[in-house]
Amino acid sequence: MKRKLTLKSIAKELGVSISTVSKALRDSPEISEETREKIKAYAKLYNYKPNNIALSLKNRKTNTIGVIIPQIVHHFFTTVIQGIEHEAREKNYNVIICLSNNDFDKEVLNMELLANGSTDGFILSVSKETMLKEDYHHLNEVIEQGMPVVMFDRVVEGIKCDRVLIDDKEGAKKGVTHMIRSGCRKIGIITSEDYVSVGRLRTEGYLDALDDFGIEPDDKRILKLDNIDDLSDKSKKRIEAFIIKNDLDGVFTVNELFAVHASRVISGLGKKIPEDISLVCFTDGQLSEHAVPSLTAVSQHGEEMGRKAAAMLIDKLERPEDEEEEYSTAYIDTSLVERESTKEVIKR
Amino acid sequence: MKRKLTLKSIAKELGVSISTVSKALRDSPEISEETREKIKAYAKLYNYKPNNIALSLKNRKTNTIGVIIPQIVHHFFTTVIQGIEHEAREKNYNVIICLSNNDFDKEVLNMELLANGSTDGFILSVSKETMLKEDYHHLNEVIEQGMPVVMFDRVVEGIKCDRVLIDDKEGAKKGVTHMIRSGCRKIGIITSEDYVSVGRLRTEGYLDALDDFGIEPDDKRILKLDNIDDLSDKSKKRIEAFIIKNDLDGVFTVNELFAVHASRVISGLGKKIPEDISLVCFTDGQLSEHAVPSLTAVSQHGEEMGRKAAAMLIDKLERPEDEEEEYSTAYIDTSLVERESTKEVIKR
């Protein structure tokens, strides 16, 4: 069987990056003329069709949505996918999912794979590496070819697409406000360094809540960890030290894993949750629900986010061609799920 | 844009099931001649190509694996997908994922969608509804067209394909044996009704372990719940009653959710884990790892299962065409992850 010539195989053969091949075939001035000519000659020789996206679009509508996510072993992403599926199904669309594994090249290849006649448009959350590289040519390419894109959760500016975001700041504010209303005054936050946008926004929400009640913030009560996605041994130790050395009556964490570990540390100190220390986390997943005590959590409504992203994409796909393009950002409201780790709000 | 004619649209237009359309186009004698003729005439009139699978196969190799799973908000399936991704990546294959949502029609449509030139072969775990209907024509169809299939976890007999299974019986036996060796003699099991094959096999493993140590089984110590996938209020009540009324020194559960609830009930009774009652569950996920106390668990090695399934499929795809077809079943070994919910094994 003959293998299909792909961006990847051209890149490998010519010893350049996938991104370079992709850009050269679109005649991007970022690539030197010599390299562009070489790549285009090779593509022509072996009959690579850079315009297959446009060709397939002219010929048919696939009624299929392509979804590209950075990782799959992640409760939040799976709930978003479930929402996309439900909305797509109601509107008679199929859904195809690919993973980037937080890898730029993989994300580019996935888009090439799906844009090649398999889908009408994309819903995606960009990979970490793509954000670091700030290289979004693959997104711009499919958009130029007439395939609409909706970005969710990890979104970037400067792309002609719709966006769906969670109101991280407001969500954190809700959680911290709830603790203050139930009597807490010395509330700490376990968050991430500011370069992780969700960490930064949730820290802002925490500070906003304190400010609303005239509580002076204290830098010692803010713990910023490097990694928000997993709970390393180093993070565990820092959480332990933070809770032991601070005199806290409430802890807000930006994810479930931090909260589960904080809960373990608090109990280990012989303190009671919520009587001595209240605990609220961002993200309402299985861990919050089944922890002992169960955790009051800010629900991100991942399924609703998926539904909204699919609805926005399908709306673009079914809009008359002569209508002017407009792009918008939708915010999904968070809500507080009250459980055993917080006290009752004090009635005034 | 012109919509593509699909099995679904033909079925809707003619008021028959998707399965009927699919079978009629293959001239299946299961369908009456009159219906067959009607469907074929309609398909011809609107230029539906039932043989596009074969056509696409003759023309090219996609280097893409199609994965169809029943649900995605499920830690085990996501780890299997991660394994498939890793193996595929190493061998230069792409992976496309579709969800059946445990729905027969959706599974058939997904296979049609992906078989239509997007993939070289399939890895799938069949939907509950497909198992109930016992209708596997869509699997047989792609296999006849030359696209190999590997089934995992929920597999069925009588299909020409490779299979990857977890050794459920052996896994349960390991968990129960560990409790016996650490001194438990009155061990209960929280499992499912026997028609759920994983529940039945894990119960068999429990009985085997008791038998090995000459411990008489006791029906009162076996709780069979209806649903293995979620923890309903009814199941919670039954777990509570089971633990309260039985005099147990060990509990084995066939999934994490049952164990997490059992742990809550045991602690609520003022009993200590593992000193008074040991606890072991099948499935090593986030809940087992982060529970307090953390749970000793039988790991299913989902990632390894995914890797094996992908390796078997790629092996079939890259085998010379004239080699004879052989099908095999691979068993993925389980292992016991010891944590806080069990005592140390007594040395003799």
pLDDT tens for A114-129 read 887 789 999 999 988 8
A62 to B4: CB separation less than 8 angstroms, yes or no = yes
pLDDT tens-place string over residues B232-283: 889 999 999 999 999 999 999 999 999 999 999 999 999 999 999 999 999 9
A62 to B89: CB separation less than 8 angstroms, yes or no = no
Nearest CA in chain A to B105: A89
Dihedral pair phi/psi, residue B51, rounded to 5°: -100, 20
Helical packing angle, B302-317 and B75-90, nearest 10°: 40
pLDDT of B144 reads 86
Which member of A72, A261, A292 has the closest CB to residue B267?
A292
Q: Report the alpha-carbon distance of residue B103 to residue B111 in Å, rounded.
A: 13
Q: What is the dihedral of CA B288, B291, B295, B299, to 10 degrees?
A: 10
Establish if B347 belongs to a structural domain. no
Instruction: Categorize the per-residue pLDDT at B217 as very low, low, confident or very high, splitting at 50, 70 and 90.
Output: very high
Dihedral pair phi/psi, residue A250, rounded to 5°: -160, 145
pLDDT of A345 reads 92
- When pLDDT is averaged across residues B33-38 and rounded to a whole number, the result is 88
Instruction: Please check whether residues A133 and A221 belong to one and the same domain.
Output: no
Instruction: Please check whether residues A126 and A202 belong to one and the same domain.
Output: no
Please list the residues that pair with A187 across neighbouring strands.
A250
Instruction: Please check whether residues B96 and B182 belong to one and the same domain.
Output: no
Alpha carbon of B98: minimum distance to chain A alpha carbons (Å): 5
Q: Choose, out of A9, A72, A101, A104, the residue to mutate when testing the contact with B (most B CBs < 10 Å).
A: A72
Which residues of chain A make contact with B61, given a CB cutoff of 8 A?
1-4
Establish if A338 belongs to a structural domain. no
Instruction: Categorize the per-residue pLDDT at B4 as very low, low, confident or very high, splitting at 50, 70 and 90.
Output: low
Instruction: Please check whether residues B46 and B97 belong to one and the same domain.
Output: no
Establish if A214 belongs to a structural domain. yes
pLDDT of A50 reads 53
Please list the residues that pair with B65 across neighbouring strands.
B95, B121
Instruction: Please check whether residues A159 and A177 belong to one and the same domain.
Output: no
A98 to B101: CB separation less than 8 angstroms, yes or no = no
Nearest CA in chain A to B89: A106
Alpha carbon of A95: minimum distance to chain B alpha carbons (Å): 7
The helix/strand/coil state of A248 is coil
pLDDT of A314 reads 96
Confirm whether the ipTM is greater than 0.85.
Answer: no
Which range has the worst mean pLDDT, A29-43, A146-160, B1-15, B318-332? B1-15
Residue B193 near residue B187, CB atoms below 8 Å: no
**Is the alpha carbon torsion for A35, A40, A41, A47 positive or negative?**
positive
Contacts of B27 (CB under 8 A, 6+ apart): B36
pLDDT of A289 reads 93
pLDDT of A56 reads 42
And the tokens for B214?
A: 């000459």
And the tokens for A316?
A: 């673009």
Please list the residues that pair with A332 across neighbouring strands.
A166
Residue A64 has pLDDT above 70, yes or no: yes
Q: Could you tell me if A60 lies within 8 Å of chain B, comparing CB atoms?
A: yes
* Domain that residue B229 falls in: 168-300
Q: Could you tell me if B348 lies within 8 Å of chain A, comparing CB atoms?
A: no
What is the DSSP pairing of strand A335-337 with strand A296-299? antiparallel
Alpha carbon of B99: minimum distance to chain A alpha carbons (Å): 8
Q: Could you tell me if B60 lies within 8 Å of chain A, comparing CB atoms?
A: yes
- When pLDDT is averaged across residues B18-23 and rounded to a whole number, the result is 83
Alpha carbon of B15: minimum distance to chain A alpha carbons (Å): 17
Q: Strands of A250-253's sheet, edge to edge?
A: A222-225, A187-192, A250-253, A278-282, A296-299, A335-337
pLDDT tens-place string over residues A206-233: 999 999 999 999 999 999 998 776 688 8
Nearest CA in chain A to B291: A291
Dihedral pair phi/psi, residue B341, rounded to 5°: -85, 5
Please list the residues that pair with A224 across neighbouring strands.
A191
Q: Could you tell me if A4 lies within 8 Å of chain B, comparing CB atoms?
A: yes
Distance of alpha carbon A29 from the chain centroid: 31
- When pLDDT is averaged across residues B298-315 and rounded to a whole number, the result is 96
Measured between alpha carbons, how far is residue B254 from residues A161, B197, B208, B299 in Å? Answer: 46, 12, 15, 12
Nearest CA in chain B to A115: B118
Establish if B259 belongs to a structural domain. yes
Q: Could you tell me if A79 lies within 8 Å of chain B, comparing CB atoms?
A: yes
Q: Could you tell me if B245 lies within 8 Å of chain A, comparing CB atoms?
A: no
Distance, first Cα to last Cα, chain A: 76
Residue B314 has pLDDT above 50, yes or no: yes
Please list the residues that pair with B40 across neighbouring strands.
none
Number of structural domains in chain A: 3
Q: Could you tell me if A81 lies within 8 Å of chain B, comparing CB atoms?
A: yes
Instruction: Please check whether residues B32 and B129 belong to one and the same domain.
Output: no
Q: Strands of B222-225's sheet, edge to edge?
A: B222-225, B187-192, B250-253, B278-282, B296-299, B335-337
Q: For the purposes of burial, counting CB atoms within 10 Å of the CB of B203, is it exposed (0-12), middle (13-18) or buried (19 or more)?
A: buried
Q: Give the residue, A315 or B24, on which the prediction is more confident.
A: A315
And the tokens for B123?
A: 């890895």
Residue reference for tokens 């509330």: A187
Pick from A267, A238, A259, A268: nearest CA to A339:
A259
Task: Please tell me the total number of residues recorded for chain B in this structure.
Answer: 348
Instruction: Categorize the per-residue pLDDT at B60 as very low, low, confident or very high, splitting at 50, 70 and 90.
Output: low
Residue B270 near residue B295, CB atoms below 8 Å: no
Instruction: Categorize the per-residue pLDDT at B81 as very low, low, confident or very high, splitting at 50, 70 and 90.
Output: very high
Q: Report the alpha-carbon distance of residue A297 to residue A341 in Å, rounded.
A: 9
And the tokens for B152?
A: 């995992």
pLDDT tens-place string over residues B136-184: 999 998 998 889 999 998 888 889 999 999 999 999 999 999 999 999 9
pLDDT of B183 reads 96
Gyration radius of chain A over CA positions: 24
Instruction: Please check whether residues A155 and A178 belong to one and the same domain.
Output: no
- Helix (H) or strand (E) run with residue B8 in it: helix B7-14
Pick from A177, A168, A175, A190: nearest CA to A248:
A190
Establish if B338 belongs to a structural domain. no
pLDDT of B288 reads 95
Task: Please tell me the total number of residues recorded for chain A in this structure.
Answer: 348
Establish if B177 belongs to a structural domain. yes
Please list the residues that pair with A280 across neighbouring strands.
A252, A296
User: How many CB contacts within 8 angstroms connect chain A with chain B?
Assistant: 110
Which residues of chain A make contact with B287, given a CB cutoff of 8 A?
286-287, 290
Q: Could you tell me if A145 lies within 8 Å of chain B, comparing CB atoms?
A: no
- When pLDDT is averaged across residues B285-298 and rounded to a whole number, the result is 93
pLDDT of A129 reads 87
Residue A57 has pLDDT above 50, yes or no: no
Nearest CA in chain A to B97: A97
Instruction: Please check whether residues A261 and A172 belong to one and the same domain.
Output: yes
Pick from B101, B62, B65: nearest CA to B84:
B65
Alpha carbon of A46: minimum distance to chain B alpha carbons (Å): 14
Instruction: Please check whether residues A278 and A195 belong to one and the same domain.
Output: yes
Establish if A23 belongs to a structural domain. yes
Which residues of chain A make contact with B114, given a CB cutoff of 8 A?
96
Residue B304 has pLDDT above 80, yes or no: yes
Contacts of B106 (CB under 8 A, 6+ apart): A89, B99, B100, B127
What CATH number should be reported for the domain holding residue A196? 3.40.50.2300
Instruction: Categorize the per-residue pLDDT at A58 as very low, low, confident or very high, splitting at 50, 70 and 90.
Output: very low
Q: Give the residue, A246 or B73, on which the prediction is more confident.
A: A246
pLDDT of B49 reads 58
Instruction: Please check whether residues A172 and A295 belong to one and the same domain.
Output: yes
Establish if B344 belongs to a structural domain. no
Buried b (16+ CB within 10 A) or exposed e, A249-276: bbbbbbbbbbbbbbbbbbeeeeeebbee
- When pLDDT is averaged across residues A229-244 and rounded to a whole number, the result is 89
Q: Report the alpha-carbon distance of residue A67 to residue B102 in Å, rounded.
A: 20
Which member of A61, A92, A264 has the closest CB to residue B2?
A61
pLDDT tens-place string over residues A164-210: 999 999 999 999 999 999 999 999 999 988 877 788 999 999 999 99
Q: Could you tell me if A263 lies within 8 Å of chain B, comparing CB atoms?
A: yes
Which member of A82, A98, A290 has the closest CB to residue B287?
A290
Contacts of B328 (CB under 8 A, 6+ apart): B162, B163, B312
Please list the residues that pair with A323 across neighbouring strands.
none
Which member of A73, A109, A118 has the closest CB to residue B79?
A73
Residue A295 has pLDDT above 80, yes or no: yes
Q: Give the residue, B86 or A231, on which the prediction is more confident.
A: B86
Helical packing angle, B18-25 and B7-14, nearest 10°: 110
Instruction: Categorize the per-residue pLDDT at B53 as very low, low, confident or very high, splitting at 50, 70 and 90.
Output: very low
Nearest CA in chain B to A81: B72
Instruction: Please check whether residues B38 and B70 belong to one and the same domain.
Output: no
And the tokens for B193?
A: 């009704």
C-alpha angle B20/B25/B26, rounded to 5°? 100
Distance of alpha carbon B299 from the chain centroid: 15
Contacts of B225 (CB under 8 A, 6+ apart): B190, B191, B192, B193, B235, B238, B239, B258
pLDDT tens-place string over residues B88-119: 999 999 999 999 988 999 999 999 888 877 89
Using omega within 30 degrees of 0 as the cis cutoff, is the peptide bond preceding A274 cis?
yes
Instruction: Please check whether residues B129 and B238 belong to one and the same domain.
Output: no
Which range has the worst mean pLDDT, A295-309, B17-31, B301-315? B17-31
- When pLDDT is averaged across residues B37-47 and rounded to a whole number, the result is 82
Please list the residues that pair with B4 across neighbouring strands.
none
Q: Could you tell me if A85 lies within 8 Å of chain B, comparing CB atoms?
A: yes
B94 to A98: CB separation less than 8 angstroms, yes or no = yes
Residue B55 has pLDDT above 70, yes or no: no
Alpha carbon of B234: minimum distance to chain A alpha carbons (Å): 16
And the tokens for A35?
A: 């390299």
In the stretch 280-299 of chain A, residues with CB closer than 8 A to chain B read 286-287, 290-292
And the tokens for B22?
A: 């699919």
Pick from A198, A214, A17: nearest CA to A104:
A17
